[in-house]
Amino acid sequence: MSLQVTHFTDPGCPWAWSASPALAALKWRYGDQLQWRDVMIGLTENGAVYESRGYTAAGQARGFRSFRERGMPFATEPREKVHGTWPMCRVVVATRRLAPEREYAVFRALQFAQFTSTLDLEDAKDLLEAISWVPGIDAEAIIAAAGEPETEALFAKDRDEARTAANSPTEFQNKHANSDGRVRYTAPSLKFKNAQGVTLEAGGFQSFEAYDVLIANLDQSLERRAPAEDAAEVLTAFPDGLTTAEVALIMTVDKFTPDLNKAEDALIAAIGDGAATRLPFGHDALWVPPAPVALAAAA
């Protein structure tokens, strides 16, 4: 048995980035029993939209610092200017067209670029730099495809689907948004659907426990993997790597608070054993299995 998961998200949202540990823990617990489908929200067409709302590059950097306590890597050097998220979303959708199995890896690379670099992610050259280190893709082909009509049509469908949150549980919880006249899902919002077509949703930023409860109510035939005890084992299951906070939550027993220091100690030990490599990002790191040639070249 399996559950379908619709994941409404945007690579430019710090809440979506901060929810990454919960998503990683879901993938550890349930593996391929969860069939994921990513839907790009498209928060802002360009930086001018953010500027019209009073956003500045320095203010955005200060905002990133405030998210650090949630665990994911952030850098605080201000960009020269703010940028919109539509160009990044187009790159994700183009990857869906050309290399669908690498869509989430490219999405993650754009998140790293958004929150730990000063790249201008409306600029094609900077977008290329942001994803060029992802193994298993033709980065130049993806950037070219991001400007094609087929990509634009698919991205428009994503934006429309993301703006169907009216009268939903997400709106009921006030975890929706309405920036363009349509009630939309915020990032990240998850919809879980079982084989009988029953759908439950968790709108906006939620805890791992919230997601886990929905799954338990939808399908108790699923196998639920126990928390990990070995950091190296975790990295083996995630060849594209994980951050410290993601590993920490995967290793956390139910009802307890993740211990980032304990997880980092375990990851450092894994390096000593030749079972991990540390790639610095922001104030933290991406930990990957040994000999990640493509990743190491980008670090």
Residue 213, pLDDT score? 98
Residues of the chain with pLDDT under 70: 291-299
* 288 occurs within a structural domain: yes
Residue 9 sits in the same domain as residue 52: yes
Distance CA 106, CA 246 (A): 18
Query: Is beta strand 3-9 parallel, antiparallel or unpaired with respect to 34-40?
Result: parallel
291-295: long-range contacts (C-beta < 8 A, 24 or more apart)? 292/135, 292/241, 293/135, 294/133, 294/134, 294/135, 295/133, 295/135, 295/241
Query: Are 175 and 186 contacting, i.e. CB atoms less than 8 angstroms apart?
Result: yes
Residue 186 shares a structural domain with residue 65? yes
Residue 278 sits in a domain whose CATH number is 1.10.10.10
Distance in angstroms (rounded) separating the CA atoms of residues 107 and 173: 27
Q: Same domain for 175 and 254?
A: no
Q: What CATH number corresponds to the domain at position 128?
A: 3.40.30.10
**What separation in angstroms does the CA of 140 have from each of 5, 128, 132, 298?**
30, 7, 8, 16
Q: What is the pTM (predicted TM-score) of this model? A: 0.95
140, 273: one domain: no
Would residue 224 count as lying in a domain? no
Residue 226, domain member (yes or no): no
Q: Given this model, what pLDDT does residue 194 score?
A: 98
**Does residue 177 fall inside a structural domain?**
yes
In terms of DSSP bridges, do strands 242-243 and 176-177 run parallel, antiparallel, or are they unpaired? unpaired
If residue 221 lies in a helix (H) or strand (E), which one and from where to where? none
Q: Identify whether 46 is part of a domain.
A: yes
Which residue, of 218, 241, 275, is where some domain finishes? Answer: 218
Instruction: Count CB-CB contacts under 10 A for residue 156.
Output: 12
Rounded to an integer, what is the distance from CA 231 to the centroid of its chain? Answer: 21
249: nearest Cα among 29, 25, 68, 23: 25
Query: Is the N-terminal amide bond of 188 cis, ω within 30° of 0?
Result: yes
The reported pLDDT for the residue numbered 291 is 66
Instruction: Among 158, 192, 218, give the residue marking a domain's end.
Output: 218
Give the model's pLDDT for residue 276.
Answer: 97
Q: Are residues 212 and 249 in the same domain?
A: no
Query: What pLDDT does residue 47 have?
Result: 86
Whether residue 211 is found in the same domain as residue 263: no
In a domain, 94, yes or no: yes
Q: Number of structural domains, the chain?
A: 2
Residues 199 and 294 in one domain: no
Select from 173, 192, 218 the last residue of a domain.
218
Per-residue pLDDT tens over the stretch 143-190: 999 999 999 999 999 999 999 999 999 999 999 999 899 999 999 999
Residue 117 contacts residue 75 (beta carbons within 8 Å): yes
Convert the pLDDT of each residue in 242-268 to its tens digit.
Answer: 999 999 999 999 999 999 999 999 999
> Do 113 and 204 fall into the same domain?
yes
pLDDT value of position 32: 97
- 143 lies in some domain: yes
The answer on 255 and 200 residing in a single domain is no
Does 287 reside within a domain?
yes
120 and 185 assigned to the same domain:
yes
Same domain, 99 and 146: yes
Q: What is the DSSP string of 242-288?
A: EEHHHHHHHTPPTTS---HHHHHHHHHHHHHTTS-EEEEETTEEEEE
Domain that holds residue 258: 231-298
Cα–Cα distances in angstroms (integers) from residue 189 to residues 8, 158, 199, 200, 214, in the given order: 5, 13, 13, 11, 13
Query: Do residues 150 and 292 share a domain?
Result: no
- Identify whether the C-beta of residue 131 lies closer than 8 Å to the C-beta of residue 110: yes
CB 281 within 8 A of CB 122: no
How far is residue 93's CA from residue 107's CA, in Å, rounded to a whole number?
9
